[in-house]
Amino acid sequence: MPADPRAHWGWHQLRSDSARRLVADSGVRPGDLVIDIGAGTGALTAPLVAAGARVIAVELHPRRVEALRRRFATTTSVKVVQVDAADLRLPRRPFHVVANPPFGITTAILRRLLSPGSRLVTANLVVPRHVARRWSDGRAPGVHRWAMTFEARHVARLPRAAFHPRPPGETSILRIERRRSVGRRKEVGR
């Protein structure tokens, strides 16, 4: 087992400067509904709130859930949800994701976010670099189901020093965006 048990779980918290940069680059605007999957102690939640977002902070670990609830107790902009991210029920209205999820459940989260009926608008996810490349190259599981609706791009690499503890391998930001409709259908009979 690694010296730091968080590394065993695949939990590598972003340092505050990297978290602020990720939020700034995400394009999140005031009033947007944003899910922070694997919220940890709020490294991304705090800059999302500062950007004016309404945040659903998803965390499974009981002590981190309590820490999140204490940290954001005075704001109505954050709802802390204790649930396994793989079992997360998605909002029925349009939403964004800015997250640094546990690396061990990356594929399950992506499948959930891109499932039929998802109202996902954009997602900026910190993932292992090989995952970002596979999804952006169109080699991801189920690509034939979601590629008509979503576009996946590998947008940036993150240095290992951006995390505590440092991840064992290279990490990247995977950006997923809902495709805009290519044109309006002509009205029948006109």
Q: Which residue has the tokens 């608008």?
A: 121
pLDDT reported for residue 86: 83
Burial of 133 (0-12, 13-18, 19+ CB in 10 A): middle
Domains and CATH numbers, the chain: 9-178 (3.40.50.150)
**pLDDT for the residue numbered 187:** 37
d(CA 111, CA 3): 31
pLDDT under 70 in the chain at which residues? 1-11, 181-190
Q: Give the per-residue pLDDT at 87.
A: 87
Q: What is the pLDDT of residue 181?
A: 67
Q: What is the pLDDT of residue 183?
A: 40
Determine the pLDDT at residue 10. Answer: 57
SS3 call for 11:
coil
